[in-house]
Amino acid sequence: MSPPSIPAESRYFGTPTGNLLGIITASLFLPAIFCSFLGDWLCTRFGRRITVMVGSVFIIAGGAWNGMSQSLAHFIACAYLL
């Protein structure tokens, strides 16, 4: 794996390899599996328009929170929580 292109990235996250790199990658996609069932229930209960608006707010807040991560653990936790 090549070193991160942004110096701040390597300062906070180092150069992860192996399982740790897999966890970082999976943390971005695994929550989608569980949230799809929640989204289906919310759309049925409240309608698609409201669910999409609320989901969009969560995505923006989650992206901002994830962008402000100061450590690798914080980055992974943010991806799972939002």
Q: What is the pLDDT of residue 77?
A: 82
Q: What is the pLDDT of residue 68?
A: 86
**Each residue's pLDDT tens digit in the chain (82 positions)?**
555 566 766 777 777 778 888 888 788 788 888 888 998 999 999 999 999 999 899 888 888 888 888 888 888 888 776 6
1 Cβ partners below 8 Å, 6+ apart?
15, 17, 21
